[in-house]
């Protein structure tokens, strides 16, 4: 009996390691007969809040969409409500003959599996990326060429691209010998986990169970290709291929493979588009992501590990981190997206915000070294008083 108990205990430990922390806790609460804590039910919301949320959704295609306000108005259900709205906009439920109950179940699982305690990699970030992806799918260069499957894949990948993110990066998982690092052989560890978690939830919810096996398998594989493209370590690989296509003018959006590549680029753009937003929103995201970096640095300090780049709050300031991020990641990618769109009004707006926000961070960096500057004073963006029209596309 003792040996049997030891085997069962070992099995439980293995299962606990295999499951993500949140999924394990969720399951254990259900097994104990407890109702899991979820964001407040929509029917408990005041009608005024729902009315304001509905009004915001009527303008979901505008670039100055405030996802933080929308999340408050929906009582933390921004991802579910946004995805349901966009599925209706594109009539995807009818086209793919989706069961609405299974769709809600799947979206609820995805939203719940984001870690709300993460300052940055949470369900609000997923909703923000999804809203940006919708704007990119509406680009004139792209919109007329996309199939319903392209749109479905683009929205689903955006919503689930960071699901169950632990709030630390891949090097941290590798140097702490986390089981995910071993499972995915230290390569695209987080992105592989996001994808496999998404596939698990698709199957658990039964959302695609009515489709032929080869079609559902193809959808799962394409979602993987899109989510894996968000691995920042593959940035140069995608950027050079994108640049080469634009230089050669050989992108043919009649080809499914070329449309898929542009969806990969669009998701990469949506994932790092925070510096392309208006300053008031962009700054919030910048502070959130740096707070997440600093928390990792504190963990590393606590366990006597080498502090990762950008994670030392004493040495790595928010302005310096953001200037580097814009200069080496965001600007090169959006310069090429700008070329791809010919450029579009939205692309012009985004490039304008990138330049203004970079100037703001430069001003804050300089102010930090000027003793007479008041820390509460907002920096003035360079470029005068000219306003960029955000009411697009």
Q: Is 122 annotated as a binding residue?
A: yes
What secondary structure does DSSP assign to 260-304, as a single string? Answer: HHHHHHHHHHHHT-GGGS-HHHHHHHHHHHHHHHHHHHHHHHHTT
Q: How far is CA 294 from the centre of its chain?
A: 20
Q: Is 390 annotated as a binding residue?
A: no
Tokens standing for residue 181:
């690092």
Q: How far apart are CA 368 and CA 317, in angstroms?
A: 10
Q: One of 26, 115, 121, 245 is an active-site residue; which one?
A: 121
Q: Is 124 annotated as a binding residue?
A: yes
Q: Is 206 left (phi over 0), alpha (psi -120 to 50) or beta?
A: left
Q: How far apart are CA 351 and CA 376, in angstroms?
A: 27
Q: Is 101 annotated as a binding residue?
A: no
Q: Which of 212, 211, 101, 221 has the alpha carbon at shortest distance from 156?
A: 221
Q: Is 373 annotated as a binding residue?
A: no
Q: How far is CA 362 from the centre of its chain?
A: 26
Q: Sign of torsion, CA 376 382 387 390?
A: negative
What secondary structure does DSSP assign to 322-342, as a single string? Answer: HHHHIIIIIHHHHHHHHHHHS
Q: How far apart are CA 290 and CA 309, in angstroms?
A: 11
Catalytic annotation on 95?
A: no
DSSP 155: H
Q: How far apart are CA 373 and CA 147, in angstroms?
A: 54
Q: Is 125 annotated as a binding residue?
A: yes
Q: Is 312 annotated as a binding residue?
A: no
Tokens standing for residue 208:
């695609």
Q: How far apart are CA 101 and CA 308, in angstroms?
A: 43
| Binding-site positions for Zn(2+) | 125, 161-162, 271
Active-site positions read 121
| Binding-site positions | 121-125, 161-162, 271, 322
| Binding-site positions for AMP | 121-125, 162, 271, 322
């Amino acid at each position: 009996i003792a040996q049997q108990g030891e085997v069962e205990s070992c099995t439980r430990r293995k299962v606990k390691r295999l499951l993500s922390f949140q999924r394990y806790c969720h399951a254990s609460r259900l097994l104990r007969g407890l109702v899991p804590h979820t964001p407040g039910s929509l029917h408990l919301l005041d009608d005024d809040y729902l009315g304001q949320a509905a009004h915001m959704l009527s303008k979901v295609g505008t670039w100055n969409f405030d996802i933080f306000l929308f999340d408050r108005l929906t009582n933390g259900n921004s991802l579910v409500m946004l995805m349901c709205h966009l599925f209706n906009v594109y009539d995807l439920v009818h086209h793919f003959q989706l069961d609405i109950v299974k769709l809600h179940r799947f979206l609820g699982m995805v939203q719940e599996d984001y870690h709300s305690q993460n300052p940055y990699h949470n369900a609000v970030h997923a909703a923000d990326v999804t809203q940006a992806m919708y704007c990119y799918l509406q680009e004139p260069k792209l919109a007329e060429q996309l199939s319903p499957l392209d749109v479905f894949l683009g929205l689903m990948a955006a919503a689930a691209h960071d699901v169950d993110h632990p709030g630390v990066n891949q090097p941290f998982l590798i140097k702490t010998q986390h089981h995910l690092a071993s499972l995915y052989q230290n390569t695209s560890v987080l992105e592989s986990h996001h994808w496999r978690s998404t596939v698990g939830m698709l199957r658990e919810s039964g959302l695609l169970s009515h489709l032929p096996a080869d079609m559902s398998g193809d959808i799962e594989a394409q979602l993987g290709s899109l989510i894996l493209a968000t691995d920042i370590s593959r940035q140069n690989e995608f950027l050079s291929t994108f640049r080469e296509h634009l230089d050669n003018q050989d992108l043919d959006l009649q080809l499914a493979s070329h449309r898929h590549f542009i969806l990969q680029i669009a998701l990469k753009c949506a994932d790092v588009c925070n510096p392309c937003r208006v300053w008031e929103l962009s700054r919030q995201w910048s502070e959130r992501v740096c707070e997440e970096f600093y928390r990792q640095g504190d963990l590393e300090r606590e366990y006597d590990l080498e502090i990762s780049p950008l994670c030392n709050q004493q040495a790595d300031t928010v302005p310096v981190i953001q200037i580097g991020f814009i200069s080496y990641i965001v600007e090169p990618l959006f310069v090429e997206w700008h070329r791809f769109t010919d450029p579009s009004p939205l692309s012009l707006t985004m490039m304008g915000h990138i330049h203004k926000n970079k100037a703001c961070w430069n001003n804050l960096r300089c102010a930090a070294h000027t003793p007479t500057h008041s820390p509460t004073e907002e920096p003035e963006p360079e470029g005068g008083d000219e306003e960029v029209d955000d009411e697009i596309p």
